[in-house]
């Protein structure tokens, strides 16, 4: 039986099996994407398996669009999983089976506590300024009303302590008296998240649970389920959360949006986001640009830091710009063409060497390429209009004549022709290039002006210049 099989019996041991288990109550966010990446890298580094489980037991909040977004986001980031995705809700009968077996062997019990009784314990805990620890009067009773609904609770140990040798946090100890008898089955017979996670991790053969440190307390509550069933315990690694650049918990104002927003709205490349997420809490010496094969080779849990990482959009965009400059021109052209109306991919591909050095994201690439599809007469930006005043029309007329006289149409010949005009007028090159740029692009800034002229071609360039030169 492979580790991806989940029929409900102990799977055959494998070296390393990790999993990513998102809840489809929202889209795939930065923290979840980094957790998935770390699990994927650890499995691939160790020659193991990386599994995907959709924890959709919250039926009221789980949505198909969220499931789709998670799957698409994972694929976009290149985080392929082994086998089919497992849907937790479909395994509810298996979860309940385990809970009933735990009742039968005395490791869990039926509880008929009322909401009023639970509320009273909550109020007492608040008055004593202590955390709520449910103490059920039914823990050691078996005379409950058979015709009344009940929940099934774990009979958690109440004495001693438990220590987790966490691969990131180190040794962490909790007194068992601090833990309560968590609910395994609700009064309608449906399993809770806490039970389902343990059963699924066991049945899927998960050996290493790598997740956010906000789940560290859950580990202590879940361990008794492993132990009472005689199941092998996973190795835990709880990674710190991602904070905003100001050190506060990451929120929408910091950029805590779905992964699709980084792809669609911000124009980030997947390899850049992967690299950035990898460096949020993990490092390998001074390496900043880390290729996927290097990440697989180098990744280990020992290099994951204990402190929260800080997300910085400017650093992400800087890194993205580096990846854009190394990216294949045809690939970038295809991505940019999707952001423009009427763009020609072949022309964009030819323009990429001139466009890439100036862009930090795909939006800037598309914006920089707008001059290629602009129609005559060009709309001149307010900032560029002054460049076409004064002597500019006369200068443009001389540039037009010099370019029109060229036999070929390449950047070297174009530059030489423009320089001759500047020299003849006793001007610096910029004093000629600036009105030329405004005439050709309608803007003050653009790729190199000689590249612009070459990319537009003879007819279009001369036509745009003619629109702005003296008659």
Residue with tokens 């290099």: 303
Question: Could you say which DSSP state residue 282 is in?
Answer: B
Pairing of strands 49-54, 17-20: parallel
Q: What is residue 249's predicted lDDT score, i.e. its pLDDT?
A: 75
In terms of Cα–Cα distance, which of 386, 369, 379, 401 is closest to 466? 401
Q: Please indicate whether the domains covering 252-326 and 374-468 agree at the CATH topology level.
A: no
Distance CA 362, CA 270 (A): 12
Q: What is residue 333's predicted lDDT score, i.e. its pLDDT?
A: 98
Q: What is residue 253's predicted lDDT score, i.e. its pLDDT?
A: 59
Cβ within 8 Å of residue 274, ≥6 positions away:
37, 77, 78, 292, 295
Q: What is residue 25's predicted lDDT score, i.e. its pLDDT?
A: 86
356 known ligand binder: no
C-alpha distance from residue 388 to each of 190, 384, 436, 467, 470 (Å): 73, 7, 8, 11, 10
Residue with tokens 């959360």: 241
Q: What is residue 331's predicted lDDT score, i.e. its pLDDT?
A: 98
What 3-state DSSP class applies to 54? strand
Q: Is the preceding omega at residue 309 within 30 degrees of 0, hence cis?
A: no
Q: Indicate if the alpha-carbon torsion angle 70, 75, 77, 78 is positive or negative.
A: positive
Domain 374-468 has CATH 3.30.300.30: no
Structure tokens at 375: 């129609």
**Whole-prediction pTM value?**
0.91
Distance CA 132, CA 213 (A): 21
C-alpha distance from residue 296 to each of 46, 79, 257, 290 (Å): 9, 12, 27, 10
Note down pLDDT in tens along the chain; length 471 residues.
344 455 454 445 559 999 999 999 888 999 999 999 999 999 999 999 999 999 998 888 889 999 999 999 999 999 999 999 999 999 999 999 999 999 999 999 999 999 999 999 999 999 999 888 888 999 999 899 988 999 999 999 999 999 999 999 999 999 999 999 999 999 999 999 999 999 999 999 999 999 999 999 999 999 999 999 999 999 999 999 999 877 777 766 555 578 999 999 999 999 999 999 999 999 999 999 999 999 999 999 999 999 999 999 999 999 999 999 999 999 999 999 999 998 999 999 999 999 999 999 999 999 999 999 999 999 999 999 999 999 999 999 999 999 999 999 999 999 999 999 999 999 999 999 999 999 999 999 999 999 999 999 999 999 999 999 875
Cβ–Cβ contacts within 10 Å for residue 269, how many? 24
Supply angle C-alpha 209, 95, 52, rounded to 5.
40
Catalytic residues: 252
Domain spans of the chain, in order of start = 252-326, 374-468
For the domain made up of 252-326, the CATH class stated in words is mainly alpha
Q: Is 451 left (phi over 0), alpha (psi -120 to 50) or beta?
A: alpha
Distance CA 28, CA 66 (A): 8
Q: What is residue 252's predicted lDDT score, i.e. its pLDDT?
A: 60
Helices (H), 327-448: 329-337, 345-355, 362-368, 370-373, 392-404, 411-425, 429-441
């Amino acid at each position: 039986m492979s580790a991806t099989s989940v029929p409900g019996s102990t799977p055959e041991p494998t070296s390393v099996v990790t999993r990513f288990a998102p809840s489809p109550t929202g889209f795939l966010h930065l923290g979840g994407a980094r957790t998935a990446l770390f699990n994927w890298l650890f499995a691939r580094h160790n020659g193991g398996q990386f599994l995907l489980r959709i924890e959709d037991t919250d039926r009221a909040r789980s949505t198909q669009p969220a499931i789709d977004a998670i799957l698409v986001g994972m694929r976009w980031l290149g985080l392929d999983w082994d086998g089919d995705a497992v849907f937790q809700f479909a395994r509810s009968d298996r979860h309940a089976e385990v809970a009933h077996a735990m009742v039968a062997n005395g490791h869990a019990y039926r509880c008929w506590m009322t909401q009023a009784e639970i509320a009273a314990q909550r109020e007492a805990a608040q008055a004593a300024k202590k955390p709520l620890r449910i103490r059920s009067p039914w823990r050691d009773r078996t005379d409950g009303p058979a015709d009344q609904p009940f929940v099934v609770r774990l009979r958690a140990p109440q004495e001693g302590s438990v220590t987790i040798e966490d691969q990131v946090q180190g040794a962490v100890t909790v007194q068992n008296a601090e833990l309560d008898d968590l609910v395994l089955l609700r009064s309608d017979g449906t399993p809770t998240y806490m039970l389902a996670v343990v059963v699924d991790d066991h049945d899927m053969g998960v050996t290493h649970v790598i997740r956010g440190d906000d789940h560290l307390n859950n580990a202590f509550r879940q361990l008794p389920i492993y132990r009472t069933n005689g199941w092998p315990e996973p190795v835990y690694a709880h990674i710190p959360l991602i904070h905003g650049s100001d050190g506060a918990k990451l929120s929408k104002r910091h950029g805590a949006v779905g992964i699709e927003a980084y792809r669609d709205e911000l124009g980030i490349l997947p390899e850049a986001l992967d690299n950035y997420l990898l460096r949020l809490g993990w490092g390998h010496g001074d390496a900043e640009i880390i290729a996927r094969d290097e990440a697989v080779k180098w990744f280990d849990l020992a290099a994951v830091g204990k402190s929260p990482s800080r997300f910085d959009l400017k650093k992400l965009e800087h890194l993205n710009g580096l990846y854009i400059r190394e990216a294949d021109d045809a690939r970038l052209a295809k991505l940019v063409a999707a952001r423009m109306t009427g763009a020609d991919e072949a022309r964009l591909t030819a323009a990429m060497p001139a466009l890439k050095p100036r862009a930090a994201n795909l939006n800037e690439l598309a914006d920089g390429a707008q001059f290629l599809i602009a129609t005559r007469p060009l709309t001149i930006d307010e900032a560029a209009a002054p460049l076409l005043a004064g002597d500019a029309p006369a200068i443009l007329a001389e540039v037009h004549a010099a370019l029109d006289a060229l036999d070929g149409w390449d950047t070297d010949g174009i530059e030489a022709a423009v320089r001759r005009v500047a020299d003849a007028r006793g001007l610096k090159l910029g004093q000629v290039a600036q009105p030329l740029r405004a005439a050709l692009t309608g803007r003050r800034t653009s790729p190199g002006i000689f590249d612009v002229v070459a990319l537009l071609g003879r007819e279009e360039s001369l036509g745009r210049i003619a629109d702005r030169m003296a008659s």
